[in-house]
Amino acid sequence: MGLSFLAPLFAVGLAAIAIPILVHLTYRQKAIIVPFPSLMFVQKVPFKSMRRQKIRHWLLFLLRCAALAILVLAFSRPFFNEDSIAATLSSASREVVILIDNSHSMSYAGRWATAQQRARDTINDLAPSDRASLVFFSDAAQLAVRSTPEPSVLLSTLEAIEPSGRSTRYAPAIAIAQQLLAESALPAKEVVLITDYQRVGWDPEQAVQLPEGTILTGIDVAEEAAGNLSIATVLLQREAADGGEQFVVNARLVNQGDEPTEDIDVTLQIGGEAVDTRRVTLEPNSALTVQFRPQPVGPDAVRGAVLAGTDKLPGDNTFYFIINPGETINVLLVENNNAHDTDSFFIGGALSVGTRPAFRLQRTSVGQLQASDLSGIDAVILNDTAFPSGAAGSAVRNFVEAGGGVLIALGELVHPGEWQGSDATALAPRFSVDIVDRNAEFGGALASYDRNHPVFEIFSAPRSGDFTAPNFYRYWRLEPGPDDLVIAGFDDGNPALVARSVGSGRVLVWPTTLDRFWNDLVIHGQVFVPFIQRATRYVAGYQEAEAWQTVGGSLRLATLEEMQFPEGTAVELTAPDGTTTGLVATGMALGSADPAAASDRIPLDAPGFYALAWSDDSGDHELAVAANLDRTESDLSKLDQEELAAALTYRGAAAGGFELDHQVTAEDREARQSWWWYLLVLVFVVLAAETALSNRLSPSSATGTA
């Protein structure tokens, strides 16, 4: 398509070439006056000025015209279009994008060194006319060097990068290569992918492809048979014990390899000290759960870790966690004075199997309840009983208003008149004297419940339990107040579970029994047990603290459930490698979504413990956050190279191909070539030559011979 101009209107300036033409054709000679002593003997001859009719000095004339023409051409900003560029460049000129996997799996012994050497070989093989980019990727991609012809820049950057603790994702790197190649005007395009081809890193649903004609060169740095021993996860179980709460650590070990791992020492560390060790043997491609001896829960949070031998990928041989205190909910069960021994049997059974948190259950009757019984209690269950009278009733109300919680179950032993006092009506909605009897219908059903509420959230997942299966034969007709929240309802429209906020506390009212007399919910253990546990957790205000986080993300100080930092609190963060960073809490505001722009984010870039330290009016404080590698990185199963190449290969415009003409503008092409700078230099050279020649010819011109 030839030569093009970015500013073709400047060509009008070519009319300025007429100036030197007019100068040469209209130049008049000037007479030279010579002093003479006497003119009396000289005949007077009239002087005639002669106009030049032809150009005498063609070289000078052409230099002046050329200077003006080149100047106009420079300001017109000429450039060659793509076809012309391809014709003038060598057919081997390439735009090369080198993608290097630096995810955690590349820490496997020898892989990173191999990847660096193969990258060096690729860089050293670049021709002088080639340009190359360097991209490092894990679950995110980083463009380290952009389209440079300088191998030294690429090599120095390559040496400065190490494998990260993040997981593998191919799509972000391919997307960057896609854009770089689409913007390039070089005729040949190539992507060099250096990776261990980890299967978990590729999602076939990712719609990323390379531009048409791109050559994909894959370099596999993984071994033929790679084995790996890893701790897949750790399960922490809490339970009540004599003298206090205790926890049990269960570690899940996986041997991904064709060889057995024999006599591996698996050690539990608490507070940095080994407290228990198990020696195990894993068969090839097998898994095993190791349980350690129960350990007591102390008053403070402690750091824990499980270590399992060493191998060629040591990062996943350690699993870090935090044991937080106070994860036992103390429950006071208040029964009717005339209750049978079995009336609360199912409640006690459901709470006794709770592990995280564990439930410590105490029992008393409503007639024996005293205000002192509420000391150290997190939740109260009033099971089929009258509301406590007198000082005990006021104590229960004050307990709730101060942040406690009550679960109320109304059954056959309850009379509405026993719930008419001011303390009782402050906690529970009124209910009529008429009992809804559904026996003639063989029972009613729970028709609706709010799966977004903490009580029923656990039942939102598929196959998590069918709450519509139990039959309800009798229940009280509740009359919720305007501020009450009905979170479950029977099929006849009556409320089945009502939530009320009182001061800082919470109340749940269940208008039927929690035994087998008025319903058969208790025989549906898949829903009854989690329902009782979740309802008790809710009224107790329990929030489960995370035992660990995953490397690759970040946390905001405001989201740490263990603490609430007042806005402006200065916090010192110490990373696992010992480096410290200053953070500033921004309260509960959402803040910036960009981690780099926020000062209250904890970046989780490496496995281990992150220590937070701060001070306030009450003294100095510390908090630890555990972070573990994404365990998907432990799976070294390989992706077939041809499968990945086929997925990334151009399959026509409909499949996401790129047209270069739509990606590179005329401004882009002209900016890359910058011919106008060279033309301006040429203008100065021509003007210098014209000046020198003009000065040389000036004497002869002055005498009239020019």
Query: How do the domains of the chain map onto residue ranges?
Result: 3-76+674-702, 95-225+637-667, 228-321, 328-540, 549-628
517 burial level (CB within 10 Å; 0-12, 13-18, 19+): middle
The mean per-residue pLDDT over the stretch 600-613 comes to 90
Q: Where does the pLDDT of residue 338 fall: very low under 50, low under 70, confident under 90, or very high at 90 and above?
A: confident
Q: Is the pLDDT of residue 664 over 60?
A: no
* DSSP one-letter string for 207-222: ---PPTT-EEEEEE-S
Residue 685: CB partners within 8 Å, gap ≥ 6? none
Q: Is the pLDDT of residue 469 over 80?
A: yes
Count CB-CB contacts under 10 A for residue 334: 28
Q: Is the pLDDT of residue 16 over 80?
A: no
Residue 682's φ and ψ, nearest 5 degrees, are -65, -35
- In percent, the amount of the chain with pLDDT more than 90 equals 47
Each residue of 609-637: b (16+ CB within 10 Å) or e?
bbbbebeeeeeeeebbbbbbbbbbbbbbe
Question: Does the reported pTM lie above 0.85?
Answer: no
Q: What is the pLDDT of residue 19?
A: 72
Q: What is the pLDDT of residue 462?
A: 72
Q: What is the pLDDT of residue 187?
A: 85
Q: What is the pLDDT of residue 98?
A: 94
CATH number for 95-225+637-667 (one of 3.30.70.100, 3.30.590.10, 1.10.3260.10, 3.40.50.410): it is: 3.40.50.410
Q: Where does the pLDDT of residue 53 fall: very low under 50, low under 70, confident under 90, or very high at 90 and above?
A: low
Distance of CA 444 to the CA centre of its chain: 47
Q: What is the pLDDT of residue 619?
A: 83
Report whether 475 contacts 443 (CB < 8 A): no
The secondary structure element, H or E, covering residue 266 is strand 261-270
- In percent, the amount of the chain with pLDDT more than 70 equals 84
Among 23-27, 190-194, 476-480, where is mean pLDDT lowest?
Answer: 23-27
Q: What is the CATH number of domain 228-321?
A: 2.60.40.10
CATH topology agreement for domains 228-321 and 549-628:
yes
Among 2-16, 182-196, 441-455, 611-625, where is mean pLDDT lowest?
Answer: 2-16
Residue with tokens 């630890």: 624
- Of residues 163 and 85, which shows the higher confidence score? 163
- Per the rule left: phi > 0, alpha: psi between -120 and 50, beta: everything else, 646 is alpha
Q: Is the pLDDT of residue 13 over 90?
A: no
Q: What is the pLDDT of residue 424?
A: 93
Q: Is the pLDDT of residue 90 over 60?
A: no
Q: What is the CATH number of domain 328-540?
A: 3.40.50.880
Residues 340-371 have pLDDT tens digits of 878 899 999 999 888 778 888 999 999 999 99
Q: How far apart are CA 660 and CA 82, in angstroms?
A: 9
Tokens of 664: 């590179």
Q: How far apart are CA 524 and CA 507, in angstroms?
A: 24
Q: How far apart are CA 440 and CA 429, in angstroms?
A: 27
Among 231-240, 389-398, 470-479, 623-632, where is mean pLDDT lowest?
Answer: 231-240
The mean per-residue pLDDT over the stretch 24-39 comes to 60
Where would I find the beta strands (DSSP E) of 284-377? 286-291, 295-296, 302-308, 318-323, 328-335, 358-365
Where would I find the beta strands (DSSP E) of 213-260? 215-220, 228-241, 244-256
494 burial level (CB within 10 Å; 0-12, 13-18, 19+): middle
Q: What is the pLDDT of residue 673?
A: 62
Residue with tokens 């995370």: 546
Tokens of 355: 């592990």
Residues 564-585 have pLDDT tens digits of 677 778 889 999 999 998 888 7
By C-alpha distance, which of 476, 458, 481 is closest to 527? 458
* DSSP one-letter string for 574-634: E-TTS-EEEEE--TTS---S-GGG-SSEEE--SSEEEEEEEEETTEEEEEEEEEE--GGGG
Q: Where does the pLDDT of residue 588 fall: very low under 50, low under 70, confident under 90, or very high at 90 and above?
A: very low
CA-based R_g, the chain, Å: 42
Report whether 334 contacts 381 (CB < 8 A): yes
Tokens of 150: 């300088």
Which of 84-98, 160-174, 194-208 tops mean pLDDT? 160-174
Each residue of 33-49: b (16+ CB within 10 Å) or e?
eeeeeeeeeeeeeeeee
Q: Where does the pLDDT of residue 660 fall: very low under 50, low under 70, confident under 90, or very high at 90 and above?
A: very low
Q: Is the pLDDT of residue 166 over 80?
A: yes
Q: Give the DSSP letter of residue 340.
A: -
Q: Is the pLDDT of residue 467 over 90?
A: no
User: What's the mean pLDDT when you consider all of the chain?
Assistant: 83
Report whether 620 contacts 613 (CB < 8 A): yes
- Of residues 48 and 477, which shows the higher confidence score? 477
Residue with tokens 């034969």: 473
Q: What is the pLDDT of residue 699?
A: 56
Q: How far apart are CA 263 and CA 254, in angstroms?
A: 14
Report whether 90 contacts 183 (CB < 8 A): no
Among 1-10, 120-129, 143-152, 308-317, where is mean pLDDT lowest?
Answer: 1-10
Q: Is the pLDDT of residue 546 over 70?
A: yes
Q: Is the pLDDT of residue 253 over 80?
A: yes
Where would I find the beta strands (DSSP E) of 309-401? 318-323, 328-335, 358-365, 379-383
Look at the domain 549-628 and name its fold: Immunoglobulin-like (2.60.40)
Where would I find the beta strands (DSSP E) of 38-110? 78-80, 94-101
Count CB-CB contacts under 10 A for residue 417: 9
Q: Is the pLDDT of residue 662 over 60?
A: no
The mean per-residue pLDDT over the stretch 100-118 comes to 93
The mean per-residue pLDDT over the stretch 176-191 comes to 89
Chain length of the chain: 706
Q: Is the pLDDT of residue 125 over 60?
A: yes
The mean per-residue pLDDT over the stretch 514-538 comes to 92
Q: What is the pLDDT of residue 24?
A: 64
The mean per-residue pLDDT over the stretch 588-594 comes to 44
Residue with tokens 């005339």: 338
- Of residues 686 and 435, which shows the higher confidence score? 435
Q: Where does the pLDDT of residue 706 fall: very low under 50, low under 70, confident under 90, or very high at 90 and above?
A: very low
Q: How far apart are CA 2 and CA 80, in angstroms?
A: 6
Q: How far apart are CA 456 and CA 279, in angstroms?
A: 42
By C-alpha distance, which of 693, 672, 409 is closest to 539? 409
Report whether 593 contacts 630 (CB < 8 A): no
Angle between the N-to-C axes of helices 151-159 and 111-124, in degrees from 0 to 180, rounded to the nearest 10 = 170
